[in-house]
Amino acid sequence: MTTNNNGEKYWKLAKIVNTMLLCSHIYLIIMFFMFQVRLMVFVNIVSILVYLINYFWIKRNLHVFFGNAYIEILLHMILAYLCVGWNSGFQIYTFALILTVYYCDYLGQKIKKPSLHPRTVSILAGVLYLAFYFISSRIKPFYDITKWHAGKIFFVINATFVLVYIIFFMENYRKIVTGTEKQLEEAARRDELTQMENRRSMQERFDRLPELAGTDAEVGIAILDIDDFKKVNDTYGHGAGDMILHEVAQRILAAETEEIHTCRWGGEEFLILAVGKMAYPSLVNALQKILGEVRTDRHDYHETDIMVTISAGAAKRKTGEKIEHTISRADDCLYQAKENGKDRMEVS
């Protein structure tokens, strides 16, 4: 059984479901007692015991929990149908069974444990529903509850229970799908190693520059590159290189403000976009701070201190200039910084 946050989420959901089913049987036992359906009073006492025991299984084995719930719903539905007939609406719990088995299969995939194929069980539930329909005119219920008009009361209660059950599951499934989509979208926008925005995400910011910058805002671009990064990989291995990339990225990320946005541009290169009324001076100040901090950082790799420097080039966008041209000028400044001895920045 998984012990991560997702596991906690599934356990919490299972507890809510178990409590819903327990409460529904407490209500049903009262109704069956009122209408003198003695067999179903006993059956519901057993059902309540099943759901009380199920609290024990929730964190130990979700498959046992859902299996118990599935079997209980199935047997309760069959016995209730035989006792009070088609008009009481107990056959509509087949729809709840189908939903339960599909959700159980979903959880089984999440916790890496196989489960009964949901299509097979769903077909059997559908066949059972049809069987109830065809035999309803041939088999009389064990108990006559027509004198209390109890059939309509039971039908309304059962339809309400099943509807609430379906809405609850669909709402939770919608949240799961929405949350997964957000996680995938965030993963697509983030570089896995550095946790910075990636090039694609920054490109989306460039596309929104007219909206972000307005009419009187400055736009600055800086490109940073770790000096002699290949030598780090060749000397200490790619594990050391990954560590250096991550720790340098954290220094750059720390410079982010409402005006300054950073990303991993590719390889050992990073890009900073500054947008605002005083964006370019802010960008230059941020670069000076980043270079100074990286210059003095000691990166501990297997009890070996590794020190690196970075070079940077910065450019302020000219009026009417395409952002691609500003990036190109910043890249030219970076090249000039490398030519002038590295561990420095050049601006345009």
Coil, strand or helix: which one is 340?
Answer: coil
Residue positions annotated with a catalytic role: 268
Of 70, 131, 80, nearest to 105 by C-alpha is: 70
Are the beta carbons of 313 and 334 closer than 8 angstroms?
Answer: yes
The two structure tokens encoding residue 236 = 């200490």
Tally of helices (H runs) and strands (E runs) in the chain: 12, 7
What's the rounded Cα separation, in Å, for the pair 24 and 215? 62
What's the rounded Cα separation, in Å, for the pair 122 and 161? 19
Specify the pairing of strand 299-301 against strand 260-266: unpaired
Coil, strand or helix: which one is 205?
Answer: helix
